Structures are given as structure tokens and as C-alpha cells.
Structure 1
């Protein structure tokens, strides 16, 4: 039996194999949201009402979002320096793209 013969292999609406479709994502939008959160605690308060960790496509962005929310929840500043320090403390700075990537988010 080939993959094409397996039930539910193709998207029923388009007839295109599911693995050929691009998942909905916008990495630039994700970067902009995280950058805004790193620049403004008011932005954090607004974003948490709309976006959840699972809404991010890139795992590094999920991780950064989680750290920002943790710091914010503890009443601590959540900027590139403090987020980098927290990621380093957790041993996850490399998974998040490194400290320079956090500064890249701010300019996104």
C-alpha cells in the first residue's frame, strides 16, 4: 500500500498531500511581538490577553515568551538583559538563539 492509498492522507478540500502545505506562521510577526514585549511592560500586559505560548510557531519564540511572562509575573523587568540572564540561569540560552538574538527581536 502506498501513502496515497492511506485514508485521510490528502487534504479533503484540496486533494493536496498534507505534508505539502505550509503551516500558518509569520515569523516576523512573532519577532515583532516579542520585541515589543521586551521594550514595554505595558505591551506584555496587552499581549498576554491575546497570545499564548502555544501560538508561536518557532520553539525558541515559545521559550522566550515563557521567560518574559515568568519575569513579568514576578514583577521583575523583562528586557533583553534580564531575559538573557534568566535563559542562561535555566541553561536554555542556546535554545533561544543566544543573547544577540534577543537584541535582534527588539529591532524587529
Structure 2
């Protein structure tokens, strides 16, 4: 491909870049990680988060599973912490914890728990945008 073959959109993006951004669903892995980590650090925030966020709000399949496990812990009146979460996920099935990134990934999430209050709405809005894109495409 030569420079003569590259065309640009009105915003100055190459058509390839613009096309890629249209095909990429809205997501924020960092926001997802922060919300999950924040819940491990601040269990008292569960009701605030669960009122707005559901499993479908997470673009990452492992994050959906982790959030679902957290929901199950709360429903059974267990704390959401690194140990109980890891044990709960491991008890769901052989290799389940490893398929979600393992204990090390959960530990990493617990370090990222910041600004949870400010991230739950953008996380939910990203899922709404993905849903609308799915309907239109």
C-alpha cells in the first residue's frame, strides 16, 4: 500500500482506523477491573453497584463471571474478599479459577479498586452502547 492508496475521513483518521473504531464495541477493561477490585476492598458498596451494574455490563467474559461469583457470595451472606472469592470460583468447577486468570489475577484486581463510585455509570453506559450497536449491526 502506498501513500496514494490511503484515504482519510473528515476527522483526519485513515479510513482503516475509522472502520476499526466502528467495529470495536465500547468497553473499558480498566473500569471493569477497578469496579471488581473496589468491591473486594469495599464490600459495603455492593448495593450501590448492583443497583446499576449487572453481569452484562462487563465486556470481558471473565469479568462477568467474577461479578456473578460476587453476587452469589453476597446472596449467601459471605464477604467479597480475595480468599472467599477465589474459593467460591474454584468450587464452581475444575479449572474455573484458572480460566478466569487464577488467584494472581484476582489479587491484581484487588489492587486496582479505586474510584468505584465514579466508574459504575460509565461501565453501565458502555454496555448500553454495545447493545445499541448490536441492534443496528
| TM-score, reference length from structure 1 | 0.79
**Alignment RMSD:** 1.9
Output one character per residue of 1:57-83: Cα deviation in whole Å (capped at 9) or x when no partner. Answer: 000000000000100111111111101
- In structure 1, C-alpha distance between the alignment counterparts of 2:80 and 2:19, rounded to whole Å: 42
Tell me which of the two structures has the higher relative contact order, counting C-alpha pairs closer than 8 angstroms and 6 or more residues apart.
Answer: 2
How far apart in 2 are the matches of 1:45 and 1:97? 26
Aligned residue for 2:5?
A: none
Give 2:23's aligned residue. Answer: 21
In structure 2, the residue corresponding to 1:49 is in which secondary structure? helix
The equivalent of 2:54 in structure 1 is 52
**Alignment CA distance shift 1:20-1:81 (3 Å):** same
Unpaired segments of 5 or more residues in structure 2?
A: 1-17, 113-137
Rounded to whole Å, the distance in 2 between the matches of 1:17 and 1:31 is: 27
Which runs of 5 or more structure 1 residues have no equivalent in the other structure?
A: 1-15
The size of the alignment, in residue pairs, is 94
Q: Which residue of 1 aligns with 2:79?
A: 77
Structure with the higher fraction of residues in helix conformation: 2
Is 1:98–2:117 an aligned residue pair? no
Partner of 2:35: 33
Calculate the TM-score normalised by the size of structure 2.
0.63
State how 1:55-66 maps to structure 2 within 5 Å: 55-66=57-68
